[in-house]
Amino acid sequence: MIKPPDISPVLLLDVSIRPRHNFYLADETSVSFIVDAKASHIHGQPYNDPQETPDQQIELRDHANTTTGQFQKGDVLAVKIFHTDTGVDIITIAAIAFDETDREYSISLESFQPRLTPWPITLELRKRDGTKFRATTELSYLPIPGGPQSFSRIDSLRNALQVRNEGPYWQTIFPYTFYVSGAWLAESPDNLKKLSSLGYYILHIVPSGDGIGYDLDQLDAWFDEAEAIGLWIMLDMRWTYQNRDYVRTQVERYKRRKNMLLWYTADEPDGHGDPLDAPSKAYAFIKSLDPYHPISLCLNCQNYHFQEYSAGADIILADVYPIGTNTEFSNKYHTPCNTTYGDCGCDNCHTSPSSPALANIPSRLALWSQFQTQLGLPRKTFWTVPQAFTAQDFFTRTPTPREVVAMAMLGMNHGANGAV
């Protein structure tokens, strides 16, 4: 469980750098780096000179309007970005204000060569008194494989998903779909077209629990049809992501499809008690086979090893299911539910006249965003998972269509950049 962090009594400068996109391709000529110079009392190194007099400083206040620290009026820091391995400068004439975030610097890629190994990059900020603050990142500048295939990447400034499969132009898409079953697809050859006609443009088929989880020949046929009607693929490996042979088979078979969008590995690994490092191991293995598509997983619990499980994906889905749920007593297991015991289908959710059931969705996303800040983790993209299934197990009723729309919109309005 993540607990509140220790608070520094002195003001810190928390410096970070990241490429705007998680990779660039060999036919691109420029890259953007995003730099943060955040005031903090959790992460970073001391910022103030203890000899500064009070009239040289102004107060920094938090959202509760309580004093959190002081910094010099008009502080501007010099920016230098350079190759970590060689020390060769990339940017030397630039600046950023104290407590400024998401400052973008664009540079030419002429000093880089496309390769599968990321380029290590160092950021150095310097105060007027000469004090230096450093952070590091990696730049992925990838060769373009021969033959047709798709590419998809994350814009970390907007937390948006970009795709391309023909030509050099990237298109931003907003992921919106639902999980579908193979049994439903098999009911009628028109069901894929029905999915597309309703405005959804991602196909996410839930695998069975047997073997690799799919009839791969049937899956090929569905994916061919999906490509023909403009559906992107989100390939679900929930039952097999810990089996390298099964993972390799699926990744090698589908990574070059022109409508491949992203991989989905663990489904509620926190709720199932999967090994804490299982998603990260799968992530590293899949990236070694296919660095051209992001990896996603879905977390179920509010605060159970969030750091360890979230490390295994680029995109984190939140399946907060608050409709028809008894949050105090499990309808399935007939046991009480509290912060340390029991499973009621919506972990640590609360419902009351002052806190309606749907409020659990924005509160979960806000908490996970807070965790990332507290832990100093790289910012991940969040997607929301609306409850859109019939009454079963923990859930005494089926959500209404209006409730499904409300759940999706609440997620999107509170930090989710996709809905599945």
96 three-class SS: strand
Residues 6+ apart with CB under 8 A from 91: 33, 79, 80, 81, 82, 105, 107
- CB-count exposure of residue 67 (10 Å: 0-12, 13-18, 19+): exposed
Instruction: Give the per-residue pLDDT at 52.
Output: 44
Q: How far apart are CA 353 and CA 350, in angstroms?
A: 10
What tokens appear for 360 in the block?
Answer: 């659990």
CB 358, CB 325: distance < 8 Å = no
SS3 content of the chain, % helix, strand, coil (to 5): 20, 30, 45
Residues of the chain with pLDDT under 70: 49-74
Distances, alpha carbon 394 to alpha carbons 335, 341, 356, 410, in Å: 12, 15, 18, 22
Q: What are phi and psi of 364, to 5 degrees?
A: -65, -45
Report DSSP state, residue 306.
H
Angle at 348 (CA atoms; ends 347, 353), nearest 5 degrees: 120
Q: What is the rounded end-to-end Cα distance, in angstroms, of the chain?
A: 27
Helix intervals (H) in 262-330: 269-272, 278-289, 306-310
pTM here? 0.93
251-302 pLDDT per residue, tens: 999 999 999 999 999 999 999 999 999 999 999 999 999 999 999 999 999 9
| Distance (Å) of CA 325 to CA 186, 320, 344, 352, 354 | 31, 11, 7, 12, 17
Helix (H, G, I), strand (E, B) or coil at 228: helix
